[in-house]
Amino acid sequence: MRLFWALALATMATAAGAAPRFAATIVRTPFGIPHISAADWRGAAYGVAYAYAQDNLCLLAEEFVTVNGERSRHFGPAGKAVAAFEPIDNLASDLFFRSQIDVAALRRGLARQPKAAVDLIDGYVAGYNRYLRDVGAAGAPVACRGKAWLRPITRDDMLRLNEKQMLLAGSLPLAAGIAAAAPPTAKPVAGLDARGLGFGDGESGIGSNGWAFGGDATADGRGLLVGNPHFPWNGPNRFWQMHVTIPGQYDVMGGGLAGTPIPTLGFNKDVAWTHTVTAARHFTLFQLTLDPADPTAYLVDGKRENMAKTVISVPMPDGMAPVTRTLYRSRFGAITVVPAALMGWTAKTAFAIRDANQGNQRGLPTWLAIGQAKSTADVRRAVETSLGIPWVNTIAADRDGNALLADVTAVPNVPARQIEACAVPATKALLASAARLVLLDGARAACDWQAAPGTPAPGLMPAADQAVVARRDYAANSNDSYWLNSPRAPHVPLSPILGPAQSQRTLRTRSGLIEIEAQLAAGKLDARIAKTMAFANKSLAADLVVPALLPLCVADASLADACTALAGWNRRFDNDSRGAYLFAAFWNRVQANPAIWRTRFDLADPVNTPRDLNTQGAAGDILRAALKSAVERLGKEGIALDARWGEVQFAQRGADRIPIHGAHGELGVLNVQQAVVVPGGLTPVHGTSYVQVVGFDATGPVADALLSYSQSTDPASPHFGDQTREYAAKRWHRLPFRPAEVAASAVGTPLKISE
């Protein structure tokens, strides 16, 4: 009620002629892209929030339910939430957010942030709440109309949301393990499931491609950026396009996630940048040695320390009693269990997780500084000084022809020698596993993160110990580690926490580097070539495998139809590619088996190895069996062996089935689309999202872009599927940036809002 009267008084003051505290103008151009202009930071975020709510009100409202730990109350404890990038049950989500987000500490931290950052948060709150008032209870989209969880927000909601975004690639994927951690004598809460790691990168989870070309590689001698984040098609981690202008201070166009008050990737007059998920780990696990007499006490340097206990109460739906749970914390962080990694809580050991991004409020000021950069040197300075970028590489190109890749994030300061010195028996195996978990000995205080002078928070790795590539030709990343962002200059090995070095790269990384080098060998690049490369949909796996696979059919009549389909396939995942699904089903069964290659990984040739399909003996039997299995799968699904890819993979938008090109990165396809099986084929759930190709002319940026899944999640919106259809046709769109371009492209009347 207090919030209602504050909002009402603000509205009356504006109506009475007082100078508005918040004011913005919103101009929409084709595909619903909003161009928000304001006189200050408060007004800019006010307009962004209003425009975002117009497109995605219910999605964002539900996200505030999530970060407040209220999903069980509104959606039931057994329902599912997407806390990071994989679903977990609502009860686990609520327990995590109620226990791991310290709002009081975040309030104190906000007081130390630049005024612009505070104004952006306050402006976003005001803009979101203004839209709620304007639309009214009856005007909300169907998905949240009349729901109790559709409510005004406060600054605390934004602080929680920002904290959640910082933890996306750290402790949040292990939320279920934190929620389920209980002493061996206690009964776990019914319904909690912590079996999976819930953590992945590279080809199994969050990802992206980012290429920065410098003047030595481009036809015009200026920088050229290709950015293609691979992010979810559904939920709060979808990108949304925007253009934000404060005359004389800020003029940036690009994209951001739900609740982001400014673009977090995009371009200004002089610089374009994108992000890819880094291979670095932003947390460490600690193995605790427990007191034999008490599993809630542990020993550090032989001295006993009691775990801190916090009783968390999670509200349930009406008529049900709250669920209470006691969670535990050590000096090294929250206690967690990870059964998939054989890390449980026993009478002898427990495990704690410490996340470098917990309490990281430096991200928004860093993105503000990047947006105001005039060169890649400015971008580098912003990233290195703040250590505020949470879990992504920063890839940039500028109008002067400089290219930058900064794998500099908030990373625990644990050098290689410390990992070795602080190893426990499971450390080596976990570091070598797909999850690449860093496990340290919590029985020794010396094994905690090392403090380094000059870092903005204790225990962070200095930027000087992380990887930066600054070149005039190019730097590229497809979620592999810092080691091979250009085959022309491999990076020296760094701490294992930053990712593996001198090791086999993914097919997607290899594909990107092969394509770039081939294009440069043919001549210099321009935006037209870059756009073709981004959506070429070539499969490196197919190029390596199909020629040697086809002769296997000669002696096996049961494979004749399959091989006919593969022989007629163009080895791409375009919408009209016939036979692509058959190969994808086959490759899914064999791609992880190293026995299929005759030439293994060679450090002297990391881009082109492994290669040479082994079709002899047992390896040949494996290949034939996999192909037969793929044929059987397509038969059960009722899909022809030579079906067009666009008939198999599609996005449903109302009554329309929109064909979707691109495929899984494990196929060596750059234009990633990870899909799930649905009746009649596949539908994408994760992959190409906001893709941009940005160069520069004499006066400013020249940007072509697409948002694959479109701006709005509301089926009633005209922008629910418009860009999805454009993506299907590979129709790029020149983004209006200069004021005259925006005015000429405007759709409808500008919307002016203030209070």
CA 691 to chain centre: 14
- DSSP character string of 242-288: EEEEETTTEEEEEEE-TT-SS-SEEE-SSEEEEEEE-SS-SEEEEEE
Average pLDDT, integer, range 234-244: 95
467 has pLDDT over 50:
yes
In this predicted structure, the answer to whether residue 591 has a pLDDT above a threshold of 50 is yes
Q: Span 598-618, mean pLDDT?
A: 97
H-helix segments, 167-247: 175-180
Return the closest-CA partner of residue 373 out of 269, 502, 480: 269
- What pLDDT, on the 0 to 100 scale, is given for residue 52? 98
Residue 138 lies in a domain: no
Instruction: Give CA–CA dist 387/368, Å, rounded.
Output: 14
Give me the DSSP letters along 700-731. SEEEEEEETT-S---TTSTTSSHHHHHHHTT-
673-678/681-688 β-pairing = antiparallel
* Digit-coded pLDDT (tens) for 510-556: 999 999 999 999 999 999 999 999 999 999 999 999 999 999 887 78
Structure tokens at 621: 């039997």
- pLDDT tens for 666-690 read 999 999 999 999 999 999 999 999 9
Task: Tell me: pLDDT of 8 over 50.
Answer: no
Kindly state the DSSP code that residue 195 receives in the 8-state scheme. Answer: -
pLDDT band at 434 (very low <50, low <70, confident <90, very high): confident
Any idea what the Cα angle at residue 210 is, between residues 702 and 534, rounded to 5°?
70
Q: pTM of the full predicted structure? A: 0.95
The verdict on residue 301 lying in a domain is yes
Same structural domain, 308 and 431: yes
- For residues 586, 592, 595, 601, the Cα torsion angle rounded to the nearest 10 degrees is 120
Residue 83 burial (CB < 10 Å; 0-12/13-18/19+)? Answer: buried
**Would 595 be classed as within a structural domain?**
yes
Could you tell me where the DSSP H helices lie in 523-576?
527-534, 540-549, 560-567
Identify the sign of the CA torsion 114, 120, 123, 129: negative
| Separation of alpha carbons 500 and 105, rounded Å | 34
All residues at 6 or more sequence positions from 328 whose CB lies less than 8 Å from its CB, including other chains:
181, 183, 296, 307, 308, 309, 310, 334, 335, 350
Task: Give yes or no: residues 436 and 581 share one domain.
Answer: no
Q: Binning pLDDT at 50, 70 and 90, where does residue 196 land?
A: low
Kindly give the pairing relationship between strand 333-336 and strand 467-471.
unpaired
Q: Tell me, what CATH number does 609's domain have?
A: 1.10.1400.10
DSSP 299-360: EETTEEEEPEEEEEEE--STTSPPEEEEEEEETTEEEE-BGGGTB---SSEEEEEEETTTT-
- Cβ atoms of residues 192 and 179 within 8 Å: yes
Answer yes or no: are the C-beta atoms of 548 and 725 closer than 8 Å. Answer: no
| The pLDDT of residue 741 | 98
Query: Residue 83's pLDDT is what?
Result: 77
Residues 292 and 433 in one domain: yes
The residues, ordered by sequence, that sit 6+ positions from 346 with a Cβ below 8 Å of its Cβ are 184, 290, 295
| Per-residue pLDDT reduced to its tens digit, 93-125 | 999 999 999 999 999 999 999 999 999 999 999
Pick 193 or 54 by higher pLDDT.
54
In a domain, 464, yes or no: no
The catalytic site residues sit at: 208
Q: Which position has the token pair 């996306």?
A: 168
pLDDT of residue 323: 96
Query: Final residue of a domain: which of 432, 447, 462?
Result: 447
> Would residue 173 count as lying in a domain?
no
Please report where in the chains the tokens 């930027």 appear, as a residue.
463
Angle at 22 between CA 16 and CA 25, to 5 degrees: 105
Same domain, yes or no: 443 and 544:
no
Confidence of residue 378 (pLDDT cuts 50, 70, 90): very high
Q: What percent of the chain has pLDDT over 90?
A: 91
**Cα–Cα distance between 752 and 27 in angstroms, integer?**
9
Q: pLDDT per residue over 307-338, tens digit each?
A: 999 999 999 998 899 999 999 999 999 999 98
- Contact 40/121 with Cβ under 8 angstroms? no
Angle CA(615)–CA(617)–CA(622) in degrees, nearest 5? 65
Number of folded domains that form the chain? 2
Assigned domain for 587 exists: yes
Model confidence at 192: pLDDT above 80: no
Domain containing residue 298: CATH number? 2.30.120.10
Angstrom distance (rounded) from CA 370 to CA 384: 11
Q: Which domain holds residue 658?
A: 540-669
Q: Is position 689 within any domain?
A: no
Q: What is the DSSP letter of 32?
A: G
567 and 434 share one domain: no
- Mark which of 669, 704, 728 sits at the end of a domain: 669
**Are residues 288 and 431 part of one domain?**
yes
Residue 199: the pLDDT is 47
Both structure tokens of 497? 């926490």
pLDDT at 172 over 90: yes
Q: What is the pLDDT of residue 137?
A: 84
pLDDT at 6 over 70: no
**423 in the same domain as 303:** yes
Same domain, 421 and 291: yes
Same domain for 295 and 420? yes
CB 663 within 8 A of CB 582: no
Decide if 605 is inside a domain: yes
pLDDT higher than threshold 70 for residue 203:
no
What pLDDT score does 376 carry? 98
Between 8 and 393, residue with greater pLDDT: 393
Share of the chain above pLDDT 70, in %: 95
